[in-house]
Amino acid sequence: MSPAPVPKNRQRGFIIPIGGGEDKQKEMLIHRKFVELSGGPDADIVVVPTASQLEATGPNYNEIFRELGAGEVEFLSINSRDDCDNPTFIEMLDRATGIFITGGNQLRLSTILGGTPVAQTIRRRNAVGVPVAGTSAGASIMSEHMIAGGSGHSGPSEDGVSLAPGIGLTNAVIIDQHFTERNRLGRLLSASSYNPFLIGLGIDEDTAAFIDPDNVLEVLGSGTITVVNAGDLTYSSMWQAGQGESLSLLGLKIDILGEGCRYDLSNRQAFPPTRDKDSFCNTPAPATTDSELR
């Protein structure tokens, strides 16, 4: 699934995968930046808490974003595929200037949202400039290919990861979350070995990748992002590995990015922090309506 096409004279909105466990009580830098990109006091943020089965998840995020100054905050009570046909939910997304997908179970999220009008609207809104953020499971589902499972604390192996379709906001990366905390390098390497075109992003807790309209990401948060670039891979044993067998992967490049570091996903190049701390906020305000594309 490729990202929705960007209309003429428009820019794609920020895509913001978060590694989970983000600070919700102190400085809340990641949420604060998301609110700013969504319009601040003029923001209309819609939260999608479907991945979580906790009733408090949607209201809790609503409270966080209101506390940070968002003008309007609502959440979609989606618990089945039938709910995704609700025209009221589509109208809410069409008004949204920011969309936030919560954590939980990414397979619950993909099996309920996948291929529905809600998923299509999220893709379309991002294509006209609306930022879409997702934490934990909400981060994983953003890419075309989603990591659905796999064990941590092990090296890359033939069965080291299971994949499923995501919602396809980006087809340049594959995303893993709670990365360092759950020692998931092996499964991200396993995912990258399937197709070296994909750039692996392993995102720590309380850390986010703000991917701008030009496909350049900047890191915000207290952890790091591990970037796995398999584009220059010279040898992979994946195609001939037996069940459960460890992999040989030669020619990989790995960058570890802390706060302020950038990575150009198109040119596969990393950059150190710059002095301009707010540079990735220099982007046009998101579209407030999408009627011309419906």
The domain in which residue 49 lies consists of 15-273
Please give the pLDDT value at position 276: 64
Amino acid type, 74: E
Please say if 153 is a catalytic residue. Answer: no
The three-state secondary structure class of 269 is strand
Residue among 72, 144, 158, 205 flagged as catalytic: 205
Give the DSSP letter of residue 109. Answer: H
Q: Is 9 a member of any domain?
A: no
Please give the pLDDT value at position 281: 47
Report the distance separating Cα 30 and Cα 208, nearest Å: 7
Q: Are 22 and 139 in contact (CB under 8 A)?
A: no
Please say if 178 is a catalytic residue. Answer: yes
Residue among 52, 136, 140, 193 flagged as catalytic: 136
Please give the pLDDT value at position 260: 97
Q: Is 279 a member of any domain?
A: no
The token duo for 25 is: 């009580």
Report the distance separating Cα 93 and Cα 74, nearest Å: 10
Q: Is 284 a member of any domain?
A: no
pLDDT tens for the chain, residues 1 to 294? 678 899 988 999 999 999 999 999 899 999 999 999 999 999 999 999 999 988 899 999 999 999 999 999 999 999 999 999 999 999 999 999 999 999 999 999 999 999 999 999 999 999 999 999 999 999 999 999 999 999 899 999 999 999 999 999 999 999 999 999 999 999 999 999 888 889 999 999 999 999 999 999 999 999 999 999 999 999 999 999 999 999 999 999 999 999 999 999 999 999 999 876 555 544 444 455 554 444
Please say if 31 is a catalytic residue. Answer: no
Report the distance separating Cα 118 and Cα 274, nearest Å: 38
Q: Is 2 a member of any domain?
A: no
A 10 A CB-CB count for 236 gives 20
Distances (CA, A) of 78 to 100, 117, 216: 14, 12, 32
Question: Which CATH number is 51's domain given?
Answer: 3.40.50.880
Q: Is 285 a member of any domain?
A: no
pTM of the model: 0.92
Domains held by the chain: number: 1
Please give the pLDDT value at position 279: 59
Please give the pLDDT value at position 84: 97
Residue among 38, 143, 145, 178 flagged as catalytic: 178
Q: Is 4 a member of any domain?
A: no
